[in-house]
Chains A and B, each alone.
Chain A
Amino acid sequence: MTVMKSYLWQSFPGAKMSDAVRLQVDDFSVDQEMTALRATSLRIGGIASFTGCARDFSEGRNVMKISFDAYGKMALAELNRLRTEAIEKFQLIDARIVHRVGTVLAGDQIVLIVTGSEHRVAALDACHWLIDELKARVPIWKKEITPEGDSWVTPHP
């Protein structure tokens, strides 16, 4: 068994705004993502979005920061699969998914899902489905950093 040097974070290939699916350290703009999605087709009649944010309170403790770790290659592949599945399952015109990695502060944005379809129901249903599937299927882990200490988050509905 050869032990390799420990490191805090694996670098990701540079994510570009034009990519519909991204893992990135930097914050994102909901407006820009919506604009990018709307620009894909004049047939879009409804756009739904979900933004996940870092709460400042969890399990009775004040949360200052949340740190994200991810198996980057697999997470990105799974996010792309989710987008493709959602487009097919809900007959979407397009969808975008952005998830941040690294450390975010309480109140910061974490994840964005934007879905566009001809009619509202498909966009809304797809958005809900995508965030649920993302939580269950994408290899990302979050750790809450609190004054009392750090702890990895146990998944909940």
Chain B
Amino acid sequence: MTIEVLDPTHGDEPDPFALAPRLDDVAGATIGVISNGKQGTRRFFDALARELIDTWGAADVVRVTKPNYSAPAGDEIFDRAKQWNALVAGIGD
């Protein structure tokens, strides 16, 4: 005797989010880094910023930190992000 069961997931429902297209070139771009603000992340993102500028020629790396590392970035940060060519979701621990 067969049984018919129901899918407990959202199934094929598309994810409302998608990654932004990659930049053709980092050179000359303004890159944002939204850090979650955990204490151990600072030096890592310092190094990342240097790498983006010194090695890859980024025009600028803008560093912002979320006020709550467990919550999404707020509108203020997203408004600033509109000025950037790309951003890094800086999740660190």
Q: Do A and B come from one complex?
A: no
A residues bordering B, Cβ < 8 Å?
none
